[in-house]
Amino acid sequence: MHICRLIRDGFNDGFYNMAVDEAVADAVEKGASPSTLRLYGWKSPTLSIGYSQRTDKKIDTGYCRKNKIDIVLRPTGGRAVLHDKEVTYSLASPKNNPLFPDNISGTYRVIGEALSKGLSFLGIDANSNSAFRIPHSEFRNPSCFATTSQYEITVDGKKLIGSAQRRFENSFLQHGSIPLENHHDKLALCLGFKEGHKSKKFVKLLKEKSIALNELNGRVFSYDEVIDAFIKGFEDVFKPVPEDSNQGIQFKISPLTEYELKLAKKLYERKITSP
């Protein structure tokens, strides 16, 4: 039986959220912490960018500062995501965990199954798609939700959950955005699309390619309701099988360790003072 720590977090600023994800990933990499599933929210709008994404040409930092939208660097790759009114999941695990294939594609697939199962508890029929690409456009797809990668979650062909993964020597970290609402106009301005034809075209593209939870089933889902559903989804997919009770995950609620708290504090201070 594999024990996985479960952290049900609240609403925090973007610097804290990324600092904690990095601290947990570091501890799991060093074997100091077990596999960890963390679910959390954002207390204010935050734009996160992939660790290799450049901000000089893609992000309107002036607009973000003026409108109090923090810009944070994710420890994973991928494109820009505007976090606002959403649930975010984060999963860190050793590579030698037998429940996850030892490759990025296989890990995406297994986690995708858990995410899809979680959505089913909300009455949503989702698909974990094979990869496809949007034809080249003038936008060069700076937004995560303008494209769908392998095993990301879609509903009726529209991307619902955007995920990113980073693999280290001994472990991996995957986290993703589950939007309750979409803020396409605000995202367009964050990405430098001023009011006008280009902005409208970009927003139209996002609306065609992505969707939010509260646009489905004619109802509004609460933050706690969504977290409950995704915890059940992970527990269901990774539950022990009757034939082999040793193969499965037992989720155990547990806080951050002292090592993780100290590292997260150090990372937070570094992030919040960085230009």
Q: Strand 86-94's sheet: what is its strand order?
A: 127-128, 153-155, 158-167, 171-179, 86-94, 35-42, 2-12, 249-253
User: Which residue in the list 4, 64, 144, 190 is annotated as catalytic?
Assistant: 144
**CB-neighbour burial class of residue 270 (10 A; exposed 0-12, middle 13-18, buried 19+):** exposed
144 has catalytic annotation: yes
By annotation, the residues acting in catalysis are 144
